[in-house]
A and B are shown apart, each in its own frame.
Chain A
Amino acid sequence: MTAAVTAVKEGRLRRPKKAKASVLYDAPGPRARLRNNMLTLGSLVVVLGIAYVIIAKLDEEGQFAGRLWEPFIQADTWVNFIIPGLQGTLVAAAVAAVLAIAFGVLFGIGRLSDHSWIRVPSGAVVEFFRAIPLLLLIFFIFSGPSTIANAFNREIPTITTFTALVIALMLYNGSVLAEIFRAGIRSVPKGQSEAAYAIGLRKSGVMRLILVPQATTAMMPAIISQLVVLLKDSALGWIIAYEDLLNSGYRLIPAQYGNLIPAAIVITIIYVAINMVLSYLAIWLERRSRRARRSSAVPLDAGIGAPPAPGMAVTGRATGEIGGAAR
């Protein structure tokens, strides 16, 4: 046995990846492989060409000058701007996430209630906040309450940008999460609750002991991808001047060093990194909860990122990444 074969067998060297068949095309034969290689070469040239044009343009505008990038290797920039900004983003997102989950549980279960006086108002609240743009909500929560209080000749404490942002994020994302919770609970097979009633549990017991624990597993990927949306939406705080990563990274740093483009690139990388970590967590959880599902709830979509639309149910459609192979 040659060294290479041993290496492959021991898993040190990976076998060269062979193109596999997919829904769209068969496993390539020799001619198709040749054609694919030509295509690869051609597309490589095109992609590199586009990259070159962008980089040349940036260079022409002098965006690679060392003095523009230097601030980002100095500790001061990170300590004074980026880390406080990141803290602002993460704190707002974390507080809003906790509140949104609570809101979602409350209204999600409310919509499943047997009493119409709970079910109908819950549904109205959820559908309303899901159907309107988050930014309108932020504007109104920021300046509406004090106007209305003044009209009643009352004084209320001023609403900070943090409060306005967090409450708006809670109402919007909480409503989306309510739909996710509802879909999660409904995705538990009916036999589960029937069996629970048969052994004498009450409605609250069925919900608390049987449905919610099983639904939680199914909902986890969808919840996390909604939290990614929430984290991204927290950047809307820029518009009401909340001190978040976007504000410190894209307003304060360029104001001081005049390096708008480098600043944009650096904070984009930070946002993408945080959200990718969260997204991979969602994918990992979905894969994990996929193990046994003969009698359990089907995991909900970890998401194409878009929140489910008003008037449409949250579907349990598999995500792109994993759906194809596992089915």
Chain B
Amino acid sequence: MDWKQALFDFSPFWKQSGTVAAAFWATIRLSAMTGVLSLIVGTLLVAMRVSPTPVLRAAGTLYVNTLRNTPLTLVLLFCSLGLSDTLQFRLSQTSTVNYYWLAVFGFSAYTAAFVCEALRSGINTVPFGQAEAARAIGLTFTQSLRLVVLPQAFRAVIAPLGSVMIAMIKNSTVVLVASYIEASAQMKQMFEEFGATLPIFLGFAVGFMLLTLPTGFLFGWAAKRWAVLR
């Protein structure tokens, strides 16, 4: 290999354009499914963490603190080696489908903890006086939630939620350890086939930037557009 190949040769991408596209499509599928599921689970968790019921609060806190402080690598390894191989917990009979859903399961469980914290920080930005004023003018519980608290909380939550989603897209590379083939596994495979050259790395880096930067700008724009002025 000469130095031109090592520094400027992007041809491996043309040779394997199909598999690279398939790998990024796999990343997108995984991220989209995880995004939806983690939003649902995260919302349930935040409902638990702010509920007036101490048992639910404690369970929510335990879940969030455990998952948030465990490395994602460990969570995903636990899903593939522990749940699937040791405990025979299968989500599908087909091996590839099983690995996809196991990856989604572990990855959503992990991301949901961060979604929960982002949502909770949004609720906490609503000043106490807003709720007191809502009660003072005679709004009921649901009315004050619907008309005063949640509209402000949702707006405050856009920016942190965007951060969580972007971190999620980048973290999706870690599902490599749960035997699901996506972009990082494809890059590793190309490193082995063509050698670890700069163009291959840059190509995948740009591929991820095409996913993360628009997401970031979208959430940033939305957060500014609907910011609550105080």
Contact = CB atoms under 8 A, between A and B. Distances in A.
Interface residues of A, number: 76
Interface stretch (A95-103, A107-115, A135-143, A193-201): A135-143
Nearest to A323: B124
A272 B183 CA distance: 29
A312 B162 contact: yes
Contacts of A275: 68-69
B22 interface: no
Nearest to A314: B163
B73 A268 contact: no
A260 interface: yes
A39 B53 contact: yes
B72 interface: yes
Contacts of B127: 23, 327
Contacts of B36: none
Contacts of B77: 238, 246, 250, 264
B16 interface: no
B3 interface: yes
Contact of B1 (A63, A151, A250): A151
A239 B163 contact: no
Contact of A272 (B70, B72, B197): B70
A305 B68 contact: yes
A304 B114 contact: yes
Interface stretch (A5-13, A40-48, A79-87, A285-293): A40-48
A144 interface: yes
Q: Which of B50, B54, B70, B124 has the most CB of A within 10 A?
A: B124
Contacts of A53: none
A36 B69 contact: no
A210 B28 CA distance: 46
B126 A23 contact: yes
Contact of B135 (A26, A47, A305): A26
Nearest to A276: B69
Question: Binding site of A, secondary structure by majority: helix, strand, loop or mixed?
Answer: helix
Given A268-B70, A305-B114, A312 B216 contact: yes
Contacts of A301: 121
B121 A320 contact: yes
A22 to B, nearest CB: 7
Contacts of B196: 139-140, 142-144, 146-147
Contacts of B166: 306, 309-310
A315 B159 contact: yes
Contacts of A327: 125, 127-128
A306 B205 contact: no
B74 A36 contact: no
Given A238-B177, A271-B69, A318-B124, A260 B205 contact: no
B216 A306 contact: no
A19 interface: yes
Given A57-B87, A232-B71, A268 B213 contact: no
B92 interface: no
A324 interface: yes
Given A133-B184, A261-B82, 10 more contacts: A23-B149, A47-B59, A61-B87, A140-B201, A148-B198, A239-B177, A268-B70, A306-B164, A311-B220, A324-B123
Interface of B: 1-3, 5-7, 50-56, 59, 65-66, 68-74, 77-78, 81-82, 85-88, 114, 117-118, 120-121, 123-128, 130-131, 135, 141, 145, 149, 156, 159-160, 162-167, 170-174, 176-177, 184, 187-188, 191, 195-198, 201, 204-205, 208-209, 212-213, 215-217, 219-220, 223
Cβ-closest 10 pairs across A and B: A311-B216, A235-B71, A151-B6, A275-B69, A143-B196, A324-B124, A309-B166, A304-B117, A320-B120, A135-B173
